[in-house]
Amino acid sequence: MSQGIRYTDELNRDAVAQVVERGYAVSQVAERQSFLSKHNLDSSMRRRGNCHE
């Protein structure tokens, strides 16, 4: 069974902060931070209790 890619807590915190605190679009941050997809960053935000909508 595949484990998938795990991103470091630091990378996740930085990416979430860029969306929540700096107002960047999730898709922009996901692309810049080399997340595989916007879905990965959305999931990270949900786990941290942040909503970007």
pLDDT digits (tens, 9 = 90+) for 8-53: 888 888 888 998 899 999 888 888 877 657 777 888 788 877 665 4
What is the pLDDT at residue 22?
A: 94
Is pLDDT of 2 > 60? no
Cβ count within 10 A of residue 33:
16
Q: Where are the domains positioned within the chain?
A: 9-47
Q: Name the pTM for this structure.
A: 0.64
The number of residues in the chain equals 53
3 state DSSP class of 46: helix
Tell me what pLDDT residue 52 has: 52
* Class of residue 7 by CB neighbours under 10 A (exposed 0-12, middle 13-18, buried 19+): middle
| Residue bearing the bigger pLDDT, 53 or 4 | 4
What is the rounded distance in angstroms from the CA atom of residue 35 to the CA atom of residue 1?
A: 21
